[in-house]
Amino acid sequence: MMKAAVIYQAGGPEVLKIEQRPIPTPTPGQVLIQVKAFGLNRSELFTRQGHSPNVKFPRVLGIEATGIVASCPSNEFKKGDMVVTAMGGMGRDFDGGYAEYTCVSAANVQVIKTELSWEVLGAMPEMLQTAWGALFKALRLGVGERLLIRGGTSSVGLAAAAIARNHGGYVTSTSRRADRDAFLKERGAHEVLVDDGDIAGKGGEKWDKVLELIGTSTLRDSLRCVKEGGCVCMAGIVGNKWSFDEFSPMEDIPTAVNLTTYSGGPDEFMVTPLEELARQVKEGKLKIQIGRVFKLDDIVEAHRVMEENSAGGKIVVLT
């Protein structure tokens, strides 16, 4: 038997119930992972609140997990390999990472050889997949380009700033708080702007690319921050709003400005160079900002902290 956090109905953090469940049995092509850590993600919060109609309850949530291979019938991996997994239906179509064991497709697993703490490894898969994919698949960030990160203090925003700077980009990060200036510059930003919702109105040189992590509440303004030929990528909803009440493309998208999104699926996860990024973390070239660390027994409190946006970085749960 294993410990798992199970949701039976939508609601507040308290609907997550710790239970004993049978350990899943992998079939050929699958991997049974003994979960050591997992990061929390806002999509799980929305699912818990009832905003994912395709997710059927009861369900073990969790779109990512980090741990050790316990069993692999087709021998794609060796027992004891340190691995990470994310997306591919985890915590949505089948039971995910909020448990001591999870069973996933072998095609959706990466081995990590670089030794890091479980807290750091647990923070990496989905956060770095999103940051990397948004920067290089969606925005196609080039060396020397000016990048604006809207929602710079979010875990993805912090990771994106460090990755973009290492790549040779010029990074401007935003925060609603003026006292975050030094914090953001230590983590990759060249420049920090206080975000009052009107960055475009501040004037100055526009950006080549914008990574929009707040969502629709600032997206119109972000579109006005970009040079002609530039691009805005919406890849997050820290502002908790998925959609516009009204949207007029001819008015809201300036001429010759491109708008795209990034959500990232199994294919994007598998091409994210997580071993290389883990090496950069080990060498001190990439900082992983961990906000809070909880135990699985404290999953209700962990979700409460995520809902309050009070962690100050990625929330990680250890089993």
Specify whether the CB–CB gap between 210 and 233 falls below 8 A. Answer: yes
Quick: pLDDT tens for 284-299.
Answer: 999 999 999 999 999 9
φ, ψ at 281 (rounded to 5°): -65, -45
DSSP state of 138: I
For residue 241, what pLDDT band results from cuts at 50, 70 and 90?
low
Decide the pairing of beta strands 82-86 and 109-111: antiparallel
Give me the phi and psi of 36, to 5 degrees please. Answer: -105, -30
Is residue 98 pLDDT above 70, yes or no?
Answer: yes
Residues in the chain: 319
pLDDT at residue 245 in the model = 81
Place of tokens 């959500």: 263
Assigned token pair, 3: 């410990």
Instruction: Write the DSSP assignment of 221-290 as a string of letters.
Output: HHHTTEEEEEEEEE---TTS--S-SS--HHHHS-TT-EEEE----HHHHHHS-HHHHHHHHHTTSS---E
pLDDT of 238 above 80: no
**What pTM, to 2 d.p., does this model score?**
0.93
The chain-wide mean pLDDT, for the chain, equals: 95
pLDDT, position 248 = 85
Q: Give yes or no for a contact between 92 and 120, defined as CB atoms under 8 angstroms apart.
A: no
Distances (CA, A) of 98 to 6, 58, 292: 8, 13, 16
pLDDT in tens, 36-93: 999 999 999 999 999 999 999 999 999 999 999 999 999 999 999 999 999 999 999 9
DSSP labels for 259-274? Answer: EEE----HHHHHHS-H
pLDDT band of 242, cuts 50, 70, 90? low
